[in-house]
Amino acid sequence: MREGFHTQLSRVNGTLVTMAKVVREAMRQASGALLTADHTAAQQVTVRDAEIDVLYRVVEDRVFGLAACRPPVAGDLRMVLNMLQVAADLQRMGDLAAHVARVALRRHPVPAVVPELADLFRAMSAVADELAAKIVSALADHDAVQAAQLDRDDDAMDDLHRKLFTVMLSPQWPLGVEAAIDGALLGRYFERYADHAVNIGHHVVVLATATDRLSSAAGASGPS
Amino acid sequence: MREGFHTQLSRVNGTLVTMAKVVREAMRQASGALLTADHTAAQQVTVRDAEIDVLYRVVEDRVFGLAACRPPVAGDLRMVLNMLQVAADLQRMGDLAAHVARVALRRHPVPAVVPELADLFRAMSAVADELAAKIVSALADHDAVQAAQLDRDDDAMDDLHRKLFTVMLSPQWPLGVEAAIDGALLGRYFERYADHAVNIGHHVVVLATATDRLSSAAGASGPS
């Protein structure tokens, strides 16, 4: 029974890793679409977003299946809840990638990001990609150390976000209202993407600790 | 035991109702602060936001306490998860009220909302208040019908949100970049607030159905 629970937990975790990879790819494509006005890439993000929503349902169903197989005691409950929260954060990150893609589509064939802001958004999308890469490997390896580093990348995102507003609000800003509104909303999407990544980092720390606990408990009682 | 579980569930629900009331008050104050440049009201929203975070922890602790008392089977698990998700949505609504208040503080003593947008934001804050009021009573009465109506109010919010952009992007917009950026971000905060309210509506429908099920089960087996 304990073995079955373990196996099912790691299956849920496997789905989270897959979800994280798709989310990473979605934001890479959305960022590319944004900076190069690539219509096809922007449309593919919408497909990926739907894929992410399906994966979220898979995680939810597996968690409930797991509870049906063995009603979770408090420690297990915290663990499965953390997994559901990771899935919910990944789903929101997918939504945010889709928001970015939609801005690209709305302005197509003109690039939605004006040349004055291109370097900043290139940097923001690099940080977003770095965060997503760390989430993939932190989830895959139950790596609490890697998960804890996500806070630092989030600081980098916050700095870029502040710079963005400094540029748009300077008296030299030559580009009027529409470009500034796009810039402000895009900035917010990237910032929220990073916030959700940080949330996931915190959940992975809890999961990694709980997994250690479960493994030692299984080791102590031997195979059942 | 079943009685104990019931009592604890309704205690969690009571905390959710309290949370929803505080969230409603926070957004009322934030909206007031925004439209009248009321510094004191804006600062009080920050206090309420901290209060909401504490209430979120209370819900979480009670849910885990509940699981410790009786490991939840699949149906119960879905119920407590829904309660946690309601709490998480309320917490985000509190954050969004705080974001609105921060915009008011940043522009004080000048009102953050320019006269050209005041009517729109007055309407958005009225819809936000209507949504929060419905959440309070839907949670208090397990009212699935009321909960299902939240979608309609959200449509009203989306309409206002679209109008906001039409005004700011019209060639007649006289107010430059800063007012437009504030408008775009504030619009997004109100829109997200409404989205979370709709999420809560969906969770309340599930909760109301599950409560009916629990009550008939308790009725069938008699007091234990």
pLDDT digits (tens, 9 = 90+) for B29-63: 999 999 998 999 999 999 999 999 999 999 988 88
Interval B183-198: pLDDT, tens: 999 999 999 999 999 9
Position B218 confidence tier, pLDDT thresholds 50, 70, 90: low
> Can you give the residue range of the structural domain that contains A178?
2-221
Gap between the Cα atoms of A128 and A136, Å rounded: 12
Position B3 confidence tier, pLDDT thresholds 50, 70, 90: low
Crossing angle (nearest 10°) for helices A176-221 and A150-169: 170
Report, in angstroms and rounded to the nearest whole number, the Rg of chain A calculated over CA atoms: 20
Gap between the Cα atoms of B205 and B85, Å rounded: 13
In chain A, the percentage of residues whose pLDDT exceeds 70 is 90
Answer whether B107 touches A (CB < 8 Å): no
φ, ψ of residue A59 to 5 degrees: the values are -60, -45
pLDDT at B224 over 60: no
Number of domains in chain B: 1
Supply the ipTM of this predicted assembly. 0.74
Q: Residue A9 is which amino acid?
A: L
> Could you tell me which of B28, B83, B23 has the C-alpha nearest to residue B58?
B83
What are the tokens at B182?
Answer: 């504030």
Crossing angle (nearest 10°) for helices B2-36 and B39-69: 170
φ, ψ of residue B118 to 5 degrees: the values are -60, -45
Residues of chain B found within 8 Å of residue A62, distances taken between Cβ atoms: none
Answer whether A177 touches B (CB < 8 Å): yes
Contact call for A64 and B71, based on CB within 8 A: no
Answer whether B73 touches A (CB < 8 Å): yes
* Three-state secondary-structure class, residue B111: coil
Contact call for A185 and B184, based on CB within 8 A: yes
Determine contact, residues B132/B197, Cβ cutoff 8 Å.
Answer: yes
Determine contact, residues B151/B198, Cβ cutoff 8 Å.
Answer: yes
Answer whether B71 touches A (CB < 8 Å): yes
SS3 breakdown of chain B: % helix, strand, coil, rounded to 5?
90, 0, 10
B160: CATH: 1.20.58.220
Contact call for A180 and B181, based on CB within 8 A: yes
Interval B116-158: pLDDT, tens: 999 999 999 999 999 999 999 999 998 988 888 898 889 999 9
Long-range contacts of B113-119 (CB under 8 A, 24+ apart): B113/B34, B113/B35, B113/B182, B113/B183, B113/B186, B114/B175, B114/B179, B114/B183, B116/B167, B116/B173, B116/B174, B116/B175, B117/B164, B117/B167, B117/B168, B117/B179, B117/B183, B118/B35
Q: Which residue of A has its CA nearest to B168?
A: A177
User: Any idea what DSSP says for residue A70?
Assistant: S
Determine contact, residues A84/A76, Cβ cutoff 8 Å.
Answer: no
Gap between the Cα atoms of B148 and A90, Å rounded: 26
| Rounded alpha-carbon distances, angstroms, from residue A178 to A150, B67, B70, B83 | 33, 51, 56, 40
